[in-house]
Amino acid sequence: MIKSDKLPRIGIIGGAGLLGATAAYCIAARGIADEIILSDVRENMAQSHVMDIEQAVCETSGTKLLVGDIDDLKTSDIIINTAGIPEVKASSRDDYLSGNIVIVRELAAKIKRWGTEPVILSATNPIDILNYELYKLTGLPAAKFIGYSRNDTLRFKWAVAMETGIPVSNLDALVIGEHGDGQIPLFELLRDNATNREVELNDIQRANILKRVTTWFSDYQMLDSGRSSGWTSGAGICHMIDLIINDSDEICPCSVIPKG
């Protein structure tokens, strides 16, 4: 939980990109931040998002939006890292490692010199590795680092709903493991909250669900759209930020730093 009487100050690294801007809009629209600062090497693009978003939410939210450089984020309560190399037609999220780890190492050096301890939410692929790399290089407490991987669980629910007809909003489900090929959908924990019963699946349904969740990334990449799943991740990041701010007891899948 962010221990403060006021709403948090949130910094977004890569704020000019699809994911950074979408997360900023969702957070601002919900009004759960006092201030959001977008930082990006494309300052003009970040500024265009600020001008657009602040008008989009001005009737319903008091969140302030600003553009700043990386050091302007040092007093943020929460930092969301969405910075990464441009989207390419990849066979795996690990294909982004060599390019994105260079960016993460540069960011870590800057964060380390700040002398502050913000919560850092990593949303750059491959998330588990880069989340750990930021922790290792900054030397900040392990509990301050969270990797965004909620999409795996959301897509699992979506696949179950497609196969069974049960609304996603009624499903309780969880995916653990690495964000990517190492994900593990926990079929034994599937529940329909409307009936308070376990979801029973036959072998064909289970196989179809596994196919949907394991081939989703490659199917999306085949579109060669040059964009990430910005809407899904942006909305999910906003949900996670809300949980952190309110110290919710909701179970939210994410990447954390292992103990031992």
Which active-site residues does the annotation give? 179
Give the strand pairing for 78-81 and 119-122.
parallel
What is the distance between the alpha carbons of residues 226 and 88, in angstroms, rounded to a whole number?
Answer: 6
What is the distance between the alpha carbons of residues 183 and 85, in angstroms, rounded to a whole number?
Answer: 23
Sheet holding 9-13, edge to edge: 64-67, 35-39, 9-13, 78-81, 119-122, 145-148, 254-255
Asked if 211 and 228 count as a contact pair (C-beta separation under 8 A), the reply is no
Distances (CA, A) of 161 to 64, 120, 167, 172: 38, 32, 6, 11
Asked if 21 and 53 count as a contact pair (C-beta separation under 8 A), the reply is yes
What is the distance between the alpha carbons of residues 139 and 176, in angstroms, rounded to a whole number?
Answer: 26
